[in-house]
């Protein structure tokens, strides 16, 4: 009986996005911090790579270190305030900043099963970029939760990275979304039966653009989730996207065009309809089995 009480409704659908190269062209540090400081991106990334190659730094920690103690930031330190102001300049792929989220909500509302089964849609970001920027982008309000690299700020200045998100530990956050344990202080290591999880993987859609998303897509794939690889609409299909689809990490690929009528929106609509049908089907099967249990 206790098990039945704990069973989650599992009628929430989550779309989980990578950020750089997925919702936004390029890379958020380049479009915001580098632009404001006049930093040559090639030189910065070369320095970051040197920390990895010569001093054994983890890739994400290397760039987070440079943003604190590269000479240019020693002279003019980054601050919480500056990062917030820079967030305004974050560019988006077509549609992202102009109606995509509202249109998807309208699409959900147009399907009668959504209201009947009480289905809701949530959006999440998991990014190796900076939390302080992402928390202040214009589309922030559409996301239930954003996970990204975070600094400990003291007197407004970053002193040490308190959260690092890289390719492989991105998957930890998929499990947080899956189990509904959002706070970093909550352990996700304990076993949780599938039926108690807030959002099963089959109700999730992961959208990412590159090799850095492969571990997340692999988790999605193995757990019955859905993955879509996207690429810059101004380019031809990159080889890494072809590889992701050929190796079955992603079921679909499309240009990162979030405007109505785009291929990506068609794929998203199809995937949402599939998930909605499976939620409705499962809940009716559960009602049957509950009825039988009560009447045996």
CB of 187 to Mg ion, least distance (A): 28
> Are the C-beta atoms of 15 and 25 separated by less than 8 Å?
no
95 lies in the site for Mg ion, by CB under 5 A: no
Q: How far apart are CA 7 and CA 193, in angstroms?
A: 9
20 lies in the site for Mg ion, by CB under 5 A: yes
CB of 144 to Mg ion, least distance (A): 20
Q: How far apart are CA 159 and CA 191, in angstroms?
A: 35
Which CB sits closer to Mg ion, 117 or 243? 243
Size of the site for Mg ion (CB under 5 A): 4
| Nearest position to Mg ion, beta carbon | 21
Q: Which of 156, 104, 138 is nearest to 268 (CA)?
A: 104
Helices (H) and strands (E) in the chain, counts: 14, 7
Which CB sits closer to Mg ion, 126 or 199? 126
Q: How far apart are CA 238 and CA 210, in angstroms?
A: 9
CB of 264 to Mg ion, least distance (A): 15
257 lies in the site for Mg ion, by CB under 5 A: no
CB of 280 to Mg ion, least distance (A): 33
CB of 278 to Mg ion, least distance (A): 28
SS3 category, 98: coil
Structure tokens at 295: 């009447």
**Of 29-37, 108-116, 135-143, 203-211: span binding Mg ion (CB under 5 A):** 203-211
122 lies in the site for Mg ion, by CB under 5 A: no
List the beta bridge partners of residue 37: none
**Of 40-48, 116-124, 208-216, 226-234: span binding Mg ion (CB under 5 A):** 208-216
Interface positions, 209-228, toward Mg ion (CB under 5 A): 209
- How does strand 143-154 pair with strand 120-130? parallel
Q: Interface residues with Mg ion (CB under 5 A)?
A: 18, 20-21, 209
């Amino acid at each position: 009986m206790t098990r039945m009480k704990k069973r989650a409704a599992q009628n929430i659908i989550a779309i989980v996005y990578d950020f750089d190269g997925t919702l936004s062209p390029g890379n958020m540090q380049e479009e915001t911090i580098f632009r404001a400081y006049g930093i040559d991106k090639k030189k910065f990334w070369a320095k970051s790579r040197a920390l990895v190659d010569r001093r054994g730094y983890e890739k994400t920690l290397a760039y987070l270190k440079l943003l604190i103690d590269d000479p240019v930031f020693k002279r003019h330190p980054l601050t919480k305030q500056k990062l917030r102001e820079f967030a305004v300049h974050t560019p988006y792929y077509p549609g992202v900043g102009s109606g995509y989220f509202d249109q998807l909500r309208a699409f959900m509302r147009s399907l009668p099963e959504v209201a009947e089964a009480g289905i809701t849609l949530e959006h999440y970001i998991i990014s190796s970029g900076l939390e302080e920027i992402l928390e202040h982008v214009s589309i922030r309000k559409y996301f239930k939760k954003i996970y990204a690299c975070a600094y400990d700020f003291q007197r407004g200045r970053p002193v040490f990275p308190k959260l690092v998100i890289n390719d492989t530990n991105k998957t930890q956050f998929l499990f947080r979304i899956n189990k509904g344990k959002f706070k970093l202080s909550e352990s996700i290591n304990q076993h949780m039966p599938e039926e108690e999880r807030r959002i099963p993987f089959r109700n999730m859609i992961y959208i990412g653009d590159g090799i850095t998303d492969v571990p997340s897509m692999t988790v999605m794939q193995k757990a019955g989730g859905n993955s879509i690889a996207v690429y810059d609409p101004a380019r031809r299909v990159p080889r890494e996207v072809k590889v992701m689809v050929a190796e079955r990490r992603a079921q679909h690929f499309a240009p990162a065009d979030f405007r109505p009528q785009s291929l990506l929106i068609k794929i998203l609509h199809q995937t949402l309809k599939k998930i909605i049908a499976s939620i409705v089907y499962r809940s009716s099967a559960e009602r049957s089995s509950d009825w039988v249990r009560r009447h045996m």
